[in-house]
Amino acid sequence: MIAQMHPMRDPDVYVFCTTSPEALSAQIVTQSCGLFREAEGVSLILTCEAAQALGLPSAPPHFARITLTVHSALEGVGLTAAVAGALAEAGIPCNMVAGFHHDHVFVPCAEADRAMQILEALQDSPTTGSR
């Protein structure tokens, strides 16, 4: 999967924020890129623009979303570890989110260009050809 991951950067800027389950509206759900229910509340991933429009926190840290366009298997082994490991080795924090079709990597906006270079190099590495 690594050799076919073809990372693609989304031009939008994203924030992670939270709200209470009681405050979760249909509008918030439809504007969210992702949401996850946790014991402390509902974690949301939204564009900064959507968060501002909804009156939700949009302060930094701000993130870029990189989609790994390979159709990844939810039971696949190694893709998340390889991506997170390569970015960690370069000192770039990442938040991995697995969707049904693709994996998404959220990195600080200031590190997005460098993260793309690292992921493209990982994809093109001769050692990933059989993965």
On the CB side of 91, how many CA atoms lie within 13 Å of its CA? Answer: 1
- Residues 97, 103, 107: CA angle, nearest 5 degrees: 60
Give the bridge partners for 66, in sequence order: 9, 105
- Concatenating the DSSP letter of every residue in the chain gives -GGG--EEEEEEEEEEEEE-GGG--HHHHHH-SEEEEETTEEEEEEEHHHHHHTT---PSP-EEEEEE-S---TT--SHHHHHHHHHHHTT---EEEE-SS-EEEEEEGGGHHHHHHHHHHHHH-GGGTT-
pTM for the whole structure: 0.90
Cα distance between residue 94 and residue 85, in whole Å: 10
Q: Residue 130: its pLDDT value, please?
A: 42
Confidence bin at 131 (pLDDT 50/70/90): very low
pLDDT digits (tens, 9 = 90+) for 87-116: 999 999 999 999 888 999 999 999 999 999
Higher confidence at residue 4 or residue 95?
95
Residue 78 pLDDT grade (very low, low, confident, very high; cuts 50, 70, 90): confident
> In this structure, which CATH number among 3.30.2130.10, 3.90.1170.50, 3.90.180.10, 3.30.465.10 belongs to the domain 2-126?
3.30.2130.10
Break the chain into its structural domains and give their ranges: 2-126
pLDDT score, position 75: 64
Cα dihedral across residues 59, 47, 3, 78: positive or negative: positive
- Six token digits for residue 3: 């050799």
